Structure 1
């Protein structure tokens, strides 16, 4: 029995070692960095901490408590299709692990999933090498580890959702080759489908690469047109079958893209190099990564010196045919050009420049380098020819020399890392030169090479990640716990439908994580009409985020923000990220409090749907003037005269300038320093002459990059990143009090665009909102994708909602289907006759039915092909 176990271990050691090595190396590093559960730090950084962790919390809640959230969620800003979000963020099979980790232990789940993805990437690459008989068997775990911990995988550790592609790519390539060799394998279609389902974005890139790989294979191995035709049919049909199997996800996602990411496609292409191509060789140096490389950097390409030497050796081996070398050279050239030539770069990214994390497809280049290196070492006994040695010395030596001479130009290069890279390269080269004609010497050579390869890839990982800072466990758990307490209270206290506003946050996805309709959101798949709307009402917006941080009485009421979550103590770590002034809550009822937070109830709200004047159909798009837009909105809803105003511009009582050239007209003024190297500020003082609410509008020139704002000596709390004019509350119910708004320059000049002080006629707004309250939808049942209720409709009105318009909404009035339409370029509305009616609004993702039919059809075809193969 022991002999059998030893034999089995010997036969399978390349697999389990290829899994355990990446896991063990990264686990050791995480422990050394005191990552939770081994210390007080966490793996959360950048998007993993600000976005993905909240999606994982949502994933648990959706699968365990609210399955219809797969289709739609009102926690997505003010509501949105969720299938696109699931397809991009949440369909990795590894995510099922999160179901076993409650919210307090989610950080442990993140570490486990990260380690498993690294381990499975190594295992799948080992399977490729073994199944295709590439490389030396003792070195399979070393090459597998180099693949799993390549520079791209380390740099994108925080983009946990992308790491699945490292697991599935080798399997897709393996079964594509076996398909073309044996003509029978259905596994290619199945693995391709799983790759696409796990993350369609990475799957798109792999599909482009598969075309290149197929062309390489055919040019290398096919010598007859008949075989080329047969192979082309197999490749095309089985690839389409794989896409068809994923149709239930792909087709609804394609629709989602047409309203979100797809709307930002580049229409102008510059036929130019994006940078000097020689610069990319610096990324083959150990530790060539830091935070500055995330938003705008060079492709991550590190694979280790042995892989580079093997890639060079490949072109020097005489027994590899010229056809294969030509094919390899053409593919390699295309990939290299893709890393620096703008049109090809855009092609790989779906004709959109990435927002952060450039050259996201570079993992395919690294895979290609390692794959070709393994082919080279499978053709030789690890011995270098003189020509190969000379070429390696010239190219590798040139790389080291170039990076050394230009190290001052690249902030991620250090002298020590360049030296370590050079020394390990020399050691690798010396090992490859060793004579290995006898079996003992061959084992020694393989062992030494194995050791150097693993050390080198691990040193790169540690030197790259040490440049990144991480959230502490407390930074995550304290605000999450405070938000969880508020959410739990609200769900027990009020089971009706409502939205929740926040003046503090952990991230913009708090609502998603805590099952609250919170109004803020951050996602790459955010529908374009949502930030467009936020930009008009004076709330911060961007291409992929919105933030509802301090609405007016008008927006709070019409959008049904029934509760406000505010900080009890702004110095508490549980509410460290305070995003808005809480002056509005002075007109609300205090409801619940903890040591960190307070919850207020807003009695002046409407509903998710209300009767409105048909004038709402005529509201025009109006950016950078939220006061006018909100006035037009309330007038249109309440059928008020167009001349009715709710905001009045107020004058400052005194303006004082310090080291700034004085201006008599403030709004639109471009203020400049008198002495450039001295501090400068302007103080704007006003006295509240009524108990009305006072607001300040701030144009994009007044964001955090240009100015620090203080109110009565304390930092003005507002979300300080915005691209359109925002409206910020300053005071309420403060008659007789004096306020000073101070602007501290951060540059030599400051543009006061749209800088206006307003006071709102609170009583008039309250009067208008109470009119709207008389005819609102009384919700009786609701879940993630359906709302049912009744309304008494007056004559001459339409029923308008604050549900974002989407073709997936199906409306029934008293059981009869009606056709909805869009108002305000944002919301769902429909006609309802006067009288009392029962309204049912149900969401079904567009193209989901068609996608389901495509998937079922593809499954039938797959089953038939399997039956035909086995009979």
Structure 2
């Protein structure tokens, strides 16, 4: 038989794909019912986003809409915080094909669109799982039914539970707890296809599916791909012994010799290894730029090295807590909202698979995989192996979907055993053997059907067991969906307000448009906006993020909403942000724990640093220091009041001449000292009198929130001089809420999303402010501390005026290109308040110039005089990655298309009753 005929015959023997659509159809129905019960859009005001979905993905998808509609650039955006390369951001968060739907959705409506995004992805995951299970177990969901009118293909009710396992796989608690990071769900979708490709290679068949699926998951989400590919190694060796033996058995070797088995296994190992190498090469166009960006951006640090966890996190977690988390909806495990719960029926079926007759090698292999994953959940050093040796502080365990898949497969083996018991006793016109294999058999001519022999009595137990499993799986999946969407507050989806998001975005978009028109009517030069008018989190979430205070949090967390509207701001939250710039902003008093990795939020205006960073406009509910009168009003959604737009006339341009000796600073833990050091480094003049301390005295604890429990520590702050007064919490032993004159301002030390310098207003000497710190866990006054400082506006404005003397006059600034002129004085060099990322190349007066990184910002020593400066950004690793990807795809195509040894042969169908047939664990 020719190779083409063999492949055609092999395809004819495979279970059809159409019945597998039942899995996504049931998944859709279950999701819609759960969404209706929890008031999730379109059945209510709650969007299908929570936590990181709110703080990152909605805004980033809004920015992707701008890219897809030609309003922003895929490779660089000046709206990414202070500016930054965006291809790694795309590769990290947005490379899923489903994200392309963002092209049809406006940024302000993106939260609503997540109901569609999540449904599509979870339905795809259920479909790929159903395809894997039917192909791996050779379960045909349809059968041929002969009647007096002829033969027709019908759905076999006995096979429906296998398809429902696809629904159960997609609707585990991981899909809601960790699936808030919507990019990871692509790993959930692609894992069954990778596993099917692995099984085919282990069986001596074509590696084409493995290559396509492994390369696909890397292109769709490289982070989940790492976990999937690592899992595939263990799964390959679990399947190899039995799959190679069965492959030889089905080709006519009743008792394969050891030599033949050894040869087949060696070939399979080589084929698997070569395929995965080529798949990794094919994904390099995504993988290489991301890796280079993370290494250069400081995301990977000493804290992420595996060895450090042996000393810091070497105590195993509780196996009892893990077991409870798989059964109880409100139980947290490793600090998360129950990410490992699956339908109880699936778990019991997976356990029952231990009693099913099967080769020992497959039982041992699957058991080892499950044991390794559970051990990794419990022991942090092993956990880091699965997370790419990067410390995962949230959404643990991130790779729980691998355990879900392994348990689903084991459950499928047990269900398949029941299905074969039902089919082996079924007698109809085609005979029991025909039902066993799922083959159609000859179709009799039309006319009366001959009377068959009386069928044997059918045992009811297997049928009852299958029906009970189906019902329990559906009920369990629905319960997980309802809990996952937030009923009972498990994950927080139904604590979010879609209308609050839309109203906030509409207000911000309108303000941004008005400021753009105003700026164009002035000089049209580049500018930045500080959005301190109340966070999007407060508009969406009526409860705080970590429970540090009751009621709405006025200023908390950063999101991608600025980026989605093309607003350049110090605020940014993504894993692809510039590490040195995050450190700079954190040390200056913007949102992040000093000296720690984290995000950067703009919660309060800081006059000195805002001016140095070119924040020309501020949106706030109170007038910032140094700002003119309000330009216009902004109507905000509840719980906020009306905000206003203000202009800072002291804001510097995007670049300016600074002291030639300006260099990287040895930062302290005090943001006021750090601001002095930075201003002094830029101007070359002393800034010792930039701030003067206010008087701080401890007072009696007061009740600032009657609805909240917790311990309070109160202070009275008295301004010693006239001017803007700022507050910094120098020490807090636990996450706290900060109240100023009884009003909740923000949280502090609550992980990485707060700890901001707080602006208390423009006060005169002798004015007093009441500051109260409250903590749910209790506070010891001896362990708390605050620092209040008054800004000397004369010193600040004098320094800023001196820096305005040598501005960088921008002529072009778009899409990773900057061109302008500057007239530097003797002893000056040019600094641009743009992150000094790898990828920038500069010329001065047409000649190549060296770019320095000074405190994370671009600095060019062009020399005294007038110069024309050009900068162009190219994504590091993109060209090389694209070439490697093309080479991988070409080599794979030539290898798989030209080498007959790896093509599928026409296997004879194995006898399910044969001891060599691997059908169950």
Is the TM value for this pair above 0.5? yes
CA distance in 2: counterparts of 1:67 and 1:106, whole angstroms: 17
1:740 paired with 2:769, answer: yes
CA distance in 2: counterparts of 1:722 and 1:441, whole angstroms: 54
Q: Is the 8 A contact 1:180 1:231 kept in 2?
A: yes
Shift of 1:314: 3.0
CA distance in 2: counterparts of 1:84 and 1:134, whole angstroms: 41
Shift of 1:610: 1.2
1:638 paired with 2:683, answer: yes
* Candidates 591, 599, 618, aligned match of 2:645: 599
Shift of 1:229: 2.2
* Candidates 37, 40, 44, aligned match of 1:35: 40
| CA distance 1:586–1:606, shift in 2 (3 Å) | closer
Q: Is the 8 A contact 1:539 1:551 kept in 2?
A: no
Per the alignment, residue 698 of structure 1 pairs with 729
Provide, for residues 671-722 of structure 1, a one-character-per-residue CA deviation record: whole Å limited to 9, x for no partner. xxxxxx99765442535653x333333313298x3463324x5445687758
Instruction: Say which SS state the counterpart of residue 693 (structure 1) adopts.
Output: strand
Per the alignment, residue 309 of structure 2 pairs with 269
Higher normalized helix content (fraction of residues): 1
Q: How many aligned positions are there? A: 768
* Candidates 288, 310, 330, aligned match of 2:329: 288
| CA distance 1:681–1:28, shift in 2 (3 Å) | closer
Per the alignment, residue 509 of structure 2 pairs with 484
Q: Is the 8 A contact 1:564 1:600 kept in 2?
A: yes
Per the alignment, residue 778 of structure 1 pairs with 809
Per the alignment, residue 356 of structure 2 pairs with 317
Shift of 1:354: 1.7
| CA distance 1:362–1:795, shift in 2 (3 Å) | same
Shift of 1:560: 0.5
Instruction: Say which SS state the counterpart of residue 219 (structure 1) adopts.
Output: helix
Per the alignment, residue 203 of structure 2 pairs with 181
Per the alignment, residue 586 of structure 2 pairs with 535
Per the alignment, residue 456 of structure 1 pairs with 476
Give runs of aligned pairs for residues 493-504 of structure 1, distance below 5 A: 493-494=518-519, 495-504=524-533
Q: Is the 8 A contact 1:659 1:681 kept in 2?
A: yes
Provide, for residues 283-333 of structure 1, a one-character-per-residue CA deviation record: whole Å limited to 9, x for no partner. 342x5246x55834665041432x334333433233x22233233333333
CA RMSD of aligned residues (A): 3.1
1:54 paired with 2:54, answer: no
CA distance in 2: counterparts of 1:710 and 1:791, whole angstroms: 44
* Candidates 641, 644, 647, aligned match of 2:691: 647
Give runs of aligned pairs for residues 136-535 of structure 1, distance below 5 A: 137-222=159-244, 224-258=261-295, 259-263=297-301, 264-266=303-305, 267-270=307-310, 272=314, 274-285=316-327, 287-289=328-330, 292-293=332-333, 295-296=335-336, 300-305=340-345, 307-318=346-357, 320-381=358-419, 438=458, 446-465=466-485, 466-468=487-489, 469=492, 470=494, 471-494=496-519, 495-504=524-533, 505-507=535-537, 508-509=558-559, 510-535=561-586
Shift of 1:752: 7.4
CA distance in 2: counterparts of 1:226 and 1:329, whole angstroms: 26
Q: Is the 8 A contact 2:415 2:466 kept in 1?
A: no
Provide, for residues 114-136 of structure 1, a one-character-per-residue CA deviation record: whole Å limited to 9, x for no partner. 11111111111111122223456
Q: Is the 8 A contact 2:78 2:814 kept in 1?
A: no
Per the alignment, residue 403 of structure 1 pairs with none
Higher relative contact order (CA 8 A, sep 6+): 2
Q: Is the 8 A contact 2:717 2:788 kept in 1?
A: no
| CA distance 1:67–1:755, shift in 2 (3 Å) | closer
CA distance in 2: counterparts of 1:808 and 1:123, whole angstroms: 41
Shift of 1:558: 1.2
Instruction: Say which SS state the counterpart of residue 755 (structure 1) adopts.
Output: strand
* Candidates 791, 805, 814, aligned match of 2:822: 791
1:94 paired with 2:98, answer: yes
| CA distance 1:368–1:558, shift in 2 (3 Å) | same
Point out the more displaced range, 445-454 or 232-241.
Answer: 445-454
Q: Is the 8 A contact 2:625 2:724 kept in 1?
A: no
* Candidates 607, 610, 624, aligned match of 1:556: 610
Per the alignment, residue 400 of structure 1 pairs with none
| CA distance 1:255–1:29, shift in 2 (3 Å) | same
CA distance in 1: counterparts of 2:99 and 2:348, whole angstroms: 37
CA distance in 1: counterparts of 2:168 and 2:714, whole angstroms: 57
Shift of 1:602: 1.0
Instruction: Say which SS state the counterpart of residue 203 (structure 2) adopts.
Output: helix
Per the alignment, residue 601 of structure 2 pairs with 547
User: 5+ residue gaps in structure 2?
Assistant: 1-14, 140-157, 245-257, 423-454, 538-557, 636-641, 703-708, 904-921
Point out the more displaced range, 514-523 or 246-255.
Answer: 514-523
Instruction: Say which SS state the counterpart of residue 61 (structure 2) adopts.
Output: helix
TM-score of the pair, normalised by structure 1 = 0.82
| CA distance 1:383–1:460, shift in 2 (3 Å) | farther
Per the alignment, residue 418 of structure 1 pairs with none
Give runs of aligned pairs for residues 664-675 of structure 1, distance below 5 A: none
Shift of 1:152: 2.1
Provide, for residues 269-295 of structure 1, a one-character-per-residue CA deviation record: whole Å limited to 9, x for no partner. 33856223243222342x5246x5583
Per the alignment, residue 916 of structure 2 pairs with none
| CA distance 1:280–1:760, shift in 2 (3 Å) | closer
| CA distance 1:134–1:452, shift in 2 (3 Å) | farther
1:686 paired with 2:718, answer: yes
Shift of 1:185: 3.5
